[in-house]
Amino acid sequence: MKNNLITFKLGSWYRDLLNKLENGERIPLFAHEILYNAILSKGTEKRPEGYTKYKAFETEIFGIDYVIDRIMQYFSASAQGQDIAKRILLLIGPPGSAKSTIVNMFKVILEDYTAKNPIPAIKDCPVHDNPLYAIPYSQRQELKKYGINIGDELLPCPVCQKKLQEVEWEELEIGLINFSRTRGIGIATYAPMDPNTADDSILIGNISLAKLALYKEETDPRVWSYTGVLQTGNRGLVEFVEMLKAKTEHLNILLTASQDKMIVLKNLPAMYLDIIIVGHTNQTEYEKFASRPDTEAFRDRLYIVKVPYNLDYKAEIRILRKLVHPSVPIDPLVYKALAYYTVATRLARYAEDLNTLKKLIDLMDQENKSEEAVKIRKKAIQEEWGFSGLSPRKSAELLSTLMVKYAEGLSVIDVLEGIKSEFVDAPKYKNNPENKQAYDAVISYIDEELSNYVMEAFLGTSIEEEVKSYFQNYLKNLEAYVKKTKIIDPATNEERDPDENILQTVDSALNQISTFERRKELYERIASVIASSVIRGKGFELKDELPELYEAIKRVFFKEKIKLVGGSIDVEMPLPETKGIVRDMIENLKKAGFPERSAKLVIKRLEHMFRKERK
Ligand SMILES: [Zn+2]
């Protein structure tokens, strides 16, 4: 095995360690400090909300980095040798929050780190004991100088203890290990099973009959199997899936394992452990557990970190993409719509109406660095938002089902319909106002997004030049209006009043009241932007310098062009005069990433809007 290719004698290893410590070099030897260092080694980033983001998780954990920060506070204190390391880390969160993903990341990070930085362990020890445990008491005092306090009580496993009766401690062989999930080194998982059949061996191993036949004596430590999860996970981490469902006897073993770092094996000396015990459970299960008086001692030993749902819809898109890979052609709004809806169900209870909810969703977007946004996200962390609403698993299920159903191309319209039937109209959610409110929010959001796409598709890219010349004309009229002068009509060469019509049209496209003050304000802003781009020596680009105005004028064009389309834009049976327009729109939407089926559905959905705009 490659792990044990390099070996040292404990005596020389120990002298080398003391030298390194003397030079200020600290090698992580204990479980909590190994994981802490592993996570830290991937880098950190300070977030405006005040917490630290740990980059080791950035490919798997989205939107809840502050939870990792809280967990890291536990590891940091534990790594410094504080008593907190004797507590069991318990992650509590709603179903489908990232609890098990977090623990899984711990395992991956441990494997990755120890592959590059192998961990010293007593060679041939069944539990890969820490070499320090084999150092005689008299020698241990020196370690205290460097803040390593392993006390007097810690001993290596019974097999190594027996070996130490035969060889001098300095002669004991030390090897290097890499943690591995598959080979059961430093990483183990316990899942609750039928409490009636699960015996203690799953945790602490058992007497092996084959070895008993070989070594004869039950008191010979070599007859034990050491295959329990607390043994295979020694030096690293043991995950307890649905921890509180474990039977009481098992929880009692855990209690001793965490508090005294020890387990008791039949007929053998006590066995010392160095493990991170981390469990997870959901809120309901925890409350049920906490209501039982006999669980108090156990609850006292817990270090609880709450893991809520993510509240950032862009992060939710990444979560959904992890859960469901697009297996059919989809349009660019499919994941966005579902992610937006999912997050909206979690935020709806904090918003009084549709507009506040949409605003809140914008503010929870972590790319939004505005003061207001940072403030509300801090509040959300403090007040523990995100413990209700839709689980990402539920949205993922819907998405998978839809992909099977619409193999020829999935449209955002199908997603909106799916959301309605699954999460709004379904009897199960009949009395769920949040799901309904979130639905209204996603409809409004997606209609805005869609009209942008359709507008682009309808107007094509040639629009830019037209917008520019429209803007020139508008500005001329605005200037004359503000300065109370006349303009020269280029056609007739005659003086006339500024065109109130064009001013009004732009006001309404900007949702601006048509007052002299507002128009003057806008004029001054435009003038100063133009002046400053002239000073910088570059041409004035409306699209870049005043995007709001650019978009507003585009909307004006959209409305005016729609007016020109006489008949209804019927996708299935277009009138002869609109046939070409519909075909172009479908082609343009396809270029924007919409499968043909979706392009048609989208145009259909916006038909009613077209009609309204024409009036
Ligand atoms: Zn051992």
CA–centroid distance, 126 to ligand 1, in Å, is 6
CA–centroid distance, 260 to ligand 1, in Å, is 18
CA–centroid distance, 25 to ligand 1, in Å, is 26
Location of each CATH 3.40.50.300 domain in the chain: 31-118+178-306
C-alpha 207/C-alpha 54 separation (Å) is 43
CA–centroid distance, 345 to ligand 1, in Å, is 52
C-alpha 346/C-alpha 117 separation (Å) is 42
CA–centroid distance, 275 to ligand 1, in Å, is 15
Query: What is the pLDDT, as a whole number, of residue 1?
Result: 43
Query: What is the pLDDT, as a whole number, of residue 605?
Result: 82
Rounded mean pLDDT for each run of 10 residues along the chain, 615 residues in total: 72 95 92 96 95 96 97 94 91 95 98 96 96 92 85 89 94 96 95 75 92 91 94 97 91 92 91 95 94 92 97 98 95 97 98 95 95 96 96 97 95 97 94 95 91 77 78 93 89 88 90 90 92 83 86 81 58 69 86 92 75 55
CA–centroid distance, 8 to ligand 1, in Å, is 16
CA–centroid distance, 230 to ligand 1, in Å, is 14
C-alpha 285/C-alpha 298 separation (Å) is 15
CATH code that applies to domain 31-118+178-306: 3.40.50.300
Q: What does the H/E/C string look like for 80-98?
A: CCCHHHHCEEEEECCCCCC
Written as six digits, the tokens of 292 are 């039982």
Residue 229, H or E segment: helix 229-232
CA–centroid distance, 142 to ligand 1, in Å, is 23
Contacts by 195-199, CB closer than 8 A, 24 or more apart:
195/246, 195/247, 198/247, 198/250
Kindly report the pTM of this predicted structure: 0.84
Query: What is the pLDDT, as a whole number, of residue 537?
Result: 79
Gap between the terminal Cα atoms of the chain: 79
C-alpha 441/C-alpha 339 separation (Å) is 12
C-alpha 442/C-alpha 454 separation (Å) is 18
CA–centroid distance, 11 to ligand 1, in Å, is 17
- Give the SS3 label for residue 400: helix
Query: What is the pLDDT, as a whole number, of residue 567?
Result: 45
CA–centroid distance, 268 to ligand 1, in Å, is 13
CA–centroid distance, 272 to ligand 1, in Å, is 10
Query: What is the pLDDT, as a whole number, of residue 562?
Result: 64
CA–centroid distance, 133 to ligand 1, in Å, is 9
